[in-house]
Amino acid sequence: MFLDRDGTLNVERNYLADPDLLQLFPGVPESLRRLQDAGFLLYVVTNQSGIGRGYYSEADMHRVNARLEELLRPHGVRLEAIYFAPEAPDQPSRGRKPSPQFLFDVRDAHGVDLAASYMVGDKLADLECGWNAGVRASVLVRTGYGGETESKNPGLGARARVFDDLASAVGWILEDARG
């Protein structure tokens, strides 16, 4: 299971650099626990262009990620890894979404079957990342920029699954994965 961070798991803060401002969306810890209990390994794949733009440091991002893991821990949720692309959009990047490179890295390092995996996010680049990697489904959540992404891309629902939030997306994912 591949998950975007900002706007998908937590409230979008426009270049989140302060761990004290990290706020999970309602139901996120429980939803991630459901996925984990169903056997999914959880990987976060996030573009962090604020680093490349000079808005915050890589150390700031690591503190936010540590806070994310701290908030999930009491729910028994474990993130396998967090992959991040620090480059600004105009800088060359190996893993910046929509590149599928980080998903390929997970496949190669951990033996994850991409055809049985899902990519969940709130932006078109998240969906494209999943499609480019050959995942079972790319899933758009309407949290964060998801509502805007949906309205700017009519017909998106023909190729992606679209849900109000992670909790409703997880319900569908668990049903779809069963067969």
Distance CA 67, CA 152 (A): 32
Catalytic (active site) residue 176 = no
Which of 4, 60, 122, 126 is an active site residue? 4
The burial of 55, by beta-carbon neighbours within 10 Å (0-12 exposed, 13-18 middle, 19 or more buried), is given as: middle
Inter-residue contact 16 to 64 (CB < 8 Å): yes
Which of 6, 60, 126, 165 is an active site residue? 6
**Could you tell me which residues come within 8 angstroms of residue 104 by beta carbon, excluding any fewer than 6 positions away?**
114, 133
Catalytic (active site) residue 18 = no
Active site residues: 4, 6
